[in-house]
């Protein structure tokens, strides 16, 4: 046994005290990152960067910029359904709103128009879109997965699902307060007009309007339409077809930019003449990053189509927040705010890419 001296006693005591302090520090750290109370394990698993934010996030939070469409209430009809995410669900989204819609084969979103311009991307299946331009001429076209359409404000249009299983699509509007339940519907407009007025306006007898619906249809089931060419000819009538093309075949264009980490296709008035604002389809490959950037004069509304990712937004006032995204989620970034989108590890042997749509409004 070594001789105990004052000097080595002090030294050994100091070591012991420091070791205890270190153990307490580790134990304290463990306790501070524990969460023994009730939890929603499913949501926690989808949002790890909200449960335990990275150290680079600020303690004072940036306003929430994520909303899952899974939280949105569906309006269901014979022929399909509709749900929306607006400023009411996502308060930061003041300038843009989105509507997700499904139509069965033959299901119709009845002829309508609205004060906001409408961007759309087909997510599934096939549809026939019909529009009447400002000169009263008709446009009829079939659209498929990843195709786009754009209808300016006030342009009447309708959508119908085709065989074999209808369609699903995402609509984005230039107004955060927009609601799909507040559009001008043909059925609703006719129901609010006296038959005598309709008779004079259309030049037919009042009996022709005896079966006009007494309330809006919104979405309804009908027969699957026939050949596209027959519909185009019938719609053209005496005025003829519209010279405007309201549809865009996204995947027929080469990527606007292509890098090892992913690619982007940008669609705006330069390659889609009727569009007044821009849309981008972004694919981030495994391990890839949509680089740090900001938009000087446009808010950005995002819809995540596939895969998983995360985004950090750096706001004014020395604030930053990181949130996780997966398919079906909406993201929103206010103009001038720095952000990036990073691919996240997916539990899959195929390591799928992440794909999302950006819609920008200045």
Q: Which residues are part of the catalytic machinery?
A: 109, 112, 114, 118, 157, 180
Half-sphere exposure of 351 (CA within 13 A, CB side): 7
**Cβ neighbours around 12 below 10 Å, total:** 11
| Residue located via tokens 């569906």 | 74
Q: Is 352 helix (H, G, I), strand (E, B) or coil?
A: coil
Distance CA 274, CA 245 (A): 7
DSSP, res 353: P
| Helix (H) / strand (E) containing 293 | strand 289-293
**For residues 333 and 95, is the Cβ–Cβ distance under 8 A?**
no
Distance CA 224, CA 212 (A): 21
**DSSP secondary structure letters along 238-251:** TT-B-S---EE-GG
**For residues 148 and 250, is the Cβ–Cβ distance under 8 A?**
yes
| Helix (H) / strand (E) containing 267 | strand 262-267
**Cβ neighbours around 356 below 10 Å, total:** 24
Distance CA 166, CA 124 (A): 8
Distance CA 225, CA 227 (A): 7
Distance CA 37, CA 334 (A): 35
Please state the length of the chain. Answer: 362
Phi, psi of 45, deg, nearest 5 = -65, -30
Q: What angle do CA 262, 264, 269 make, to 5 degrees?
A: 175
Q: Is 252 helix (H, G, I), strand (E, B) or coil?
A: helix
């Amino acid at each position: 046994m070594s001789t105990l001296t004052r000097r080595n006693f002090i030294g050994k005591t100091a070591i012991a005290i420091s070791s205890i302090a270190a153990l307490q520090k580790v134990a304290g750290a463990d306790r501070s990152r524990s969460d023994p109370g009730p939890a929603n394990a499913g949501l926690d698993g989808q949002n790890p960067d909200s449960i335990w934010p990275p150290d680079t996030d600020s303690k004072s939070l940036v306003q929430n910029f994520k909303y899952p469409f899974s939280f949105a209430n569906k309006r269901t009809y014979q022929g399909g359904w509709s749900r929306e995410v607006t400023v009411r669900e996502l308060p930061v989204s003041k300038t843009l709103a989105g509507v997700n819609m499904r139509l069965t084969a033959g299901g119709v979103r009845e002829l309508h128009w609205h004060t906001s311009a409408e961007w759309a991307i087909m997510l599934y299946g096939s549809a026939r879109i019909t529009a009447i331009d400002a000169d009263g001429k008709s446009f009829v076209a079939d659209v498929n997965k990843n195709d786009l359409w754009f209808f300016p404000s006030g342009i009447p249009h309708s959508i119908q699902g085709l065989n074999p299983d209808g369609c699903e699509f995402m609509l984005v509007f230039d107004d955060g307060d927009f609601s799909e339940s507040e559009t001008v519907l043909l059925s609703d407009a006719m129901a609010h007009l006296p038959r005598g007025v309709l008779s004079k306006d259309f030049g037919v007898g009042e009996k022709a309007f005896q079966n006009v619906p007494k309330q809006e249809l919104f979405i309804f089931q009908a027969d699957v339409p026939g050949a596209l060419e027959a519909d185009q000819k019938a719609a053209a009538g005496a005025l003829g077809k519209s010279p405007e093309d309201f549809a865009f075949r996204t995947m027929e264009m080469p990527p606007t930019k292509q890098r090892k980490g992913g690619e982007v296709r940008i669609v705006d008035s330069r390659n889609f003449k009727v569009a007044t604002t821009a849309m981008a389809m972004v694919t981030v490959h495994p391990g890839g990053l949509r680089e740090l950037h900001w938009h000087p004069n446009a808010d950005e509304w995002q819809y995540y189509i596939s895969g998983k990712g995360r985004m950090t937004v750096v706001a004014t006032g020395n604030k930053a927040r990181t949130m996780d995204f997966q398919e079906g989620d909406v993201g929103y970034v206010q103009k001038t705010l720095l952000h990036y989108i990073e691919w996240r590890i997916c539990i899959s042997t195929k390591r799928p890419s992440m794909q999302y749509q950006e819609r920008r409004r200045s």
